[in-house]
Structure 1
Amino acid sequence: MLMHQGIGLDRFNEITRARAIHALFECCGNVTWAAKLADSRPYADSDALLAKADIELLALSQDDLDRALEVVVHEHVSGGNVTVLAQITRARLTTMLGPSEGYPDY
């Protein structure tokens, strides 16, 4: 389960860099990737965030990719590669953002 669920894109764009990196790390398991995405804020829409996420995943070294897969995959995945990591990451980013306006704070 992600700690940062349904925060919405607007809130994601406005939270501190440290909190954004933490939220993104939960999605991929790579600090460099998370920092690059956090530093590229604000995003106009979720598609822009997902596109940047894919671009930065492709830039990961094989060692970084292997470590990220170890963090986000809790069961053996055949053919663990950037495509598998991208699918997992996109699903987690979508969960992190939730609806466009995010869930209300209680």
Structure 2
Amino acid sequence: MHQGIGLDSFNTISRGRAVHALYECCCNVTWATTIADARPFPDRDALLAKVDVELLALSQPDLNRAFDAVVHEQFSQRVVTELARITRAHIDTMLGPSDGYPDY
């Protein structure tokens, strides 16, 4: 649903929409809320660094639920590094190109 919105739009959309967009990337409300509340991000690297830090903070039950939500993805083990790889790919899809896709 939230594809190609660009970092600038992500930084300025409502908190609710940001949480929803992030939830689509990792399927964890606490994680999504924490990332949304850390906005604005100066660049994609800063966002991804925060993403990684907060993924490392997830409890094992939260990790298990996140993996259960991405069963359609390819992963070798249910470890945080695999979830980070999947989540980063989803965030890349969410953001799209650096300026996002144009509104039509």
Q: Shorter-chain TM-score: what band?
A: over 0.9
Q: Which residue of 1 aligns with 2:14?
A: 16
Length, aligned pairs only: 104
Q: Deviations over 1:68-87 (max 9, x none)?
A: 11112326743111011000
Is residue 2:46 matched to residue 1:42? no
CA RMSD of aligned residues (A): 1.1
* Sequence identity (%): 69
TM-score under structure 1 length normalisation = 0.94
Where structure 2 has 5 or more consecutive residues not aligned to the other structure, the ranges are none
Q: For residues 87-106 of structure 1, what are the structure 2 equivalents within 5 Å?
A: 87-106=85-104
Contact kept in structure 2, 1:27 and 1:72, CA below 8 Å: no
| Alpha-carbon separation, structure 2, partners of 1:69 and 1:7 | 25
TM-score under structure 2 length normalisation = 0.95
| Alpha-carbon separation, structure 2, partners of 1:18 and 1:26 | 13
CA 1:77–1:99: 2 relative to 1, 3 Å: closer
Where structure 1 has 5 or more consecutive residues not aligned to the other structure, the ranges are none
User: Which 4+ residue blocks in structure 1 deviate beyond 3 angstroms?
Assistant: 75-78
Is residue 2:64 matched to residue 1:63? no
| Alpha-carbon separation, structure 2, partners of 1:73 and 1:81 | 13
| Alpha-carbon separation, structure 2, partners of 1:99 and 1:59 | 28
| Alpha-carbon separation, structure 2, partners of 1:77 and 1:67 | 15
